[in-house]
Amino acid sequence: MSRALRVARHHLDDRTRDLLDKELTAALCDITLDSDAHEAILARIGAHALQTHLPGEILQALTFYPATGSHVLTIGNLPQQEFPATPRNGFTDETAMAVTNALHFGLLQLLSLTPFAVDYENNGRYIRNVAPNPAAAGTTSSWGADSEFFWHTDNPHLPFGGKGVDPRRYVPRYLSFYAVRNDEQVPTEVLAIEDAVAALDDATVQALQSAQFLVGPPASNDETAPLPDAALLEQSYEGTRARYDRGTVTGTTPAAAAALDRWVQALEQARAEEFVLTPGDFLIFDNYRVLHRRRAFQPGPTETARWLRRCYAS
């Protein structure tokens, strides 16, 4: 059976990577820029360097990605600065991550996307350090490791957004990642909603499209309330959207609970794509049209444990 999931894969050659690295290092060496206070300046510097050095084919792919309907885009072999130790409490000195931040925000700018953060999560900061944090032990969180972080949408308890709105009130449209280290080789897994839905009978799809579910916020969320009377699947002009997190979704009627059980089974069987991110990899996916997960893993030594940098964008 063919898969609906569409992935655009790109890779820099070493020469391009080195030129980009040189330009960014020179542009950023004698200034202090923070990921939150100076996001726009980092984006401007990053976008300029990327525009100068990336091959036309990758620049085009970035420009058109939001319109192509690809679920996922990856770029491998981006520059890697000298990285500090993996932050075990979730936060690091962002001014020491300027080259990485310029690349990350610059790529989002070339994708015509707006990075954003919400003040009730991650201390309101743009960059989420996805790294094992002892405070998150036993929880299904991007700071967890020992528990499987099963199939989910990020912030599924918010309404779906559209163009030209304040993105903070809606489900984040895209999740973007830059990989600092992943010696443990833990994959980020992604599946297309269409591939899970294809395995369901019509009655189950109808039940999942009806407003019979309560969708709670994720563990990382400090305050927002659950979404009542929500549907898990919605049709949009771009295809089927889902809101889902096994840990926070319940059916409020027997029919909804039964449909939810069948959805869980379909997800167990759906064919997913595994992205084992390596240092210098960038990954972006459409949080409205895919689900993602990360299985439980045994983190390496604290200082060099798995570390991804995530930013929401819409």
Ligand X SMILES: O=C(O)CCC(=O)C(=O)O
Measure the CA angle with vertex 313, ends 209 and 117; round to 5°.
100
**Binding range to Fe ion, per CB under 5 A, among 10-18, 87-95, 146-154, 243-251:** 146-154
Other C-beta atoms closer than 10 Å to the C-beta of 37 total: 12
Q: Which of 39, 121, 154, 286 binds ligand X (CB under 6 A)?
A: 154
Q: Are 273 and 5 in contact (CB under 8 A)?
A: yes
Question: Residue 149 or 282: which CB sits closer to ligand X?
Answer: 149
Q: How far is the CB of 137 from ligand X (least distance, A)?
A: 15
How far apart CA 76 and CA 281 sit, in angstroms, is 4
Among 43, 107, 130, 191, binds ligand X (CB under 6 A): 130
Question: Cβ neighbours of residue 261 under 8 Å, at least 6 residues apart?
Answer: none
Residue number with CB closer to Fe ion (66 or 156): 156
Of the candidate residues 21, 94, 154, 281, the single one contacting Fe ion (CB under 5 A)? 154
Shortest spacing between CB 30 and ligand X, in angstroms: 33
Least Å distance between CB 132 and Fe ion?
A: 15
The nearer residue to ligand X, 86 or 142, going by C-beta atoms, is 142
Query: Would you count residue 245 as binding Fe ion (CB under 5 A)?
Result: no
Residues 172-201 that bind ligand X (CB under 6 A): 175, 188
92 binds ligand X (CB under 6 A): no
CB of 291 to ligand X, least distance (A): 10
List the single partner that 312 binds among Fe ion, ligand X, none, CB under 5 to 8 Å by kind: none
**In sequence order, which residues have a C-beta less than 8 Å from that of residue 82 and are 6 or more positions away?**
none
**Residue (219 or 264) nearer to ligand X, CB:** 219
286 binds Fe ion (CB under 5 A): no
For residue 310, state whether it binds ligand X (rule: CB under 6 A): yes
Q: Does 153 bind ligand X (CB under 6 A)?
A: no
CA distance 116 to 123: 13
CA atoms within 13 A on the CB side of 44: 5
Neighbouring residues of 145: CB distance < 8 A, sequence distance ≥ 6: 132, 137, 296, 297, 298, 299, 305, 306
The pair of three-digit structure tokens given for residue 49, joined into one six-digit string: 């360097």
Q: Which of 105, 99, 104 is nearest to 82 (CA)?
A: 99
Q: Is 204 in the site for ligand X (CB under 6 A)?
A: no
Using CB under 6 A as the binding criterion, the count of chain residues that bind ligand X stands at 10
**292 contributes a contact to ligand X by CB under 6 A:** yes
Q: How many CB atoms lie within 10 A of CB 1?
A: 7
Q: Supply 186's token pair.
A: 């833990």
Closer residue to ligand X (CB): 28 or 111: 111
Euclidean distance between the first and the last CA atom of the chain, given in angstroms as a whole number: 32
59: enclosing H helix or E strand? helix 56-68
Place of tokens 């839905």: 197
150 contacts 271 by C-beta, under 8 angstroms: no
**Residue 188 contacts which entry, Fe ion, ligand X, none (Cβ below 5-8 A, type-dependent):** ligand X
Binding site for Fe ion (CB under 5 A): 154
Binding site for ligand X (CB under 6 A): 130, 142, 149, 154, 175, 188, 292, 294, 308, 310
